[in-house]
Amino acid sequence: MGDSIDVMPWTEKYRPKNLSDVIGQKEITEHLRAFVKAKNMPNMLFAGPPGIGKTTATIALARELFGDQYKDAILEMNASDERGIDIVRGKIKDFARTVSLASVPFKLIFLDEADALTSDAQHALRRTMEVYVQNTRFILSCNYSSKIIEPLQSRCAVFRFKPLADADFNEMINRVAHAEGLKVEKDAIEALTYIAEGDMRRAINALQGASLFTKHINKEAVYRFASRANPLEIKEMVELALKGDFKESRKKLDTIMLQYGLSGEDVIIQVYREVINNDKIPDKQKVALVDRIGEYDFRIVEGANDRLQLEALLAQLGVIGK
């Protein structure tokens, strides 16, 4: 038999062992350490965009609180899979009413993507949190705290997770690369940071995908696996369009869509990022460009032909560039 292939997602493989493994959320981890020291904690609401450490912080907290017993002391659920009132009345309530056997006098229920819970389920959860407060604590994780009803928010200590800085990406990518025996070039780390858009999980998954083809990771490998165009190519296409060279910018669009297999939505998002980040474009011109980009993005989302709308956008860039 040949060597087995490691197909475990690295985001699972590198789950934290303690709170020191949580990257980029120093203020929040300091609060969580205080809870561990006191062996007591309130119900909590973790809010913030995906891939910035909400689940990681919860698992790290559970490991430090419960030690080797943490798997028996925590119920981890994804509310986007089980989002109705029945799950609150059944699975959650059954776990909440049982007594903790660990040294810590309470158990932990972690509801990931809690903003996907229906309104009825959230109202039922409010009562469950009150009744079983002596032996159960809840951590709700969400991308949009506005979708959590006010009565639930008022029963929780709210922690807002910050987007990760580039230095945080560098630290985690280098840590994973060292553990997996990969050589990751500097421009590849920049590419991973670019395609991740603040989501560490996306960056690690892209790195794992690129590593299946080569142990020497460069930016081309990252962009190829992540189905993203090289931002320099997008920038070149935009600048050609702004100069009024519609024919050449259209050729560049052909190359980008065929080479990377991108959808219209993918291309237009990258065009937006390059327009915003291009210091050569005056602010007054950026205002007009963003207005046009938003219009064509809406048309594509509503079902218009990708290719036709992107070419129309390039034509609009030429008009605005003059």
pLDDT digits (tens, 9 = 90+) for 259-277: 778 888 889 999 999 999 8
Domain final residue, candidates 139, 160, 181: 160
User: Average pLDDT for residues 20-30, to the nearest whole number?
Assistant: 84
Q: Minimal CA–CA distance to 80: which of 137, 10, 142, 125? A: 142
278 part of a folded domain? yes
Same domain? For 34 and 108 the reply is: yes
- The verdict on residue 4 lying in a domain is no
Cα(166)–Cα(231) distance, integer angstroms: 17
Q: Does 92 score more than 70 pLDDT?
A: yes
Q: What's the domain range around 147?
A: 10-160
What are the DSSP calls for 247-290, one per residue? Answer: HHHHHHHHHHHHHH---HHHHHHHHHHHHHH-TTS-HHHHHHHH
- As a whole number of angstroms, the distance between CA 83 and CA 115 comes to 9
The reply to whether 182 and 304 lie within a common domain is no
**Are both 94 and 22 inside the same structural domain?**
yes
Q: What is the pLDDT of residue 3?
A: 40
- The total number of structural domains in the chain stands at 3
Same domain, yes or no, for 123 and 245? no
Burial class (CB in 10 A: 0-12, 13-18, 19+), 141: buried
Q: Give CA 55 to chain center in angstroms.
A: 11
Please tell me what DSSP assigns to residue 104. S
Q: Is the domain of 17 the same as that of 88?
A: yes
* 78 vs 116: CA distance, rounded Å: 9
Q: What is the pLDDT of residues 36-56, one digit of tens each?
A: 888 888 999 999 888 888 888
Taking residues 269-290, report their average pLDDT: 90
> How many percent of the chain have pLDDT more than 70?
90
Has residue 136 been placed in a domain? yes
Which of these ranges, 76-80, 151-155, 279-283, has the smallest mean pLDDT? 76-80
Last residue of a domain, one of 160, 179, 206: 160
The letter for the amino acid at 171 is: E
pLDDT band for position 8 (50/70/90)? low
Q: How far apart are CA 285 and CA 34, in angstroms?
A: 50
Is the pLDDT confidence value at 81 over 70? no
Residue 26 lies in a domain: yes
Q: Average pLDDT, stretch 242-264?
A: 88
Query: How does DSSP classify residue 92?
Result: I
Q: What integer pLDDT is reported at residue 5 of this predicted model?
A: 41
Distance, in Å, from the CA atom of 160 to the CA atom of 146, rounded to the nearest integer, reads: 12
pTM for this entry: 0.76
**Residue-wise pLDDT tens digits, 107-133:** 888 888 888 888 888 888 888 888 888
Would residue 2 count as lying in a domain?
no
**Residue 90 pLDDT > 80:** no
Considering only residues 74 and 292, tell me which one the structure prediction assigns the higher pLDDT.
Answer: 292
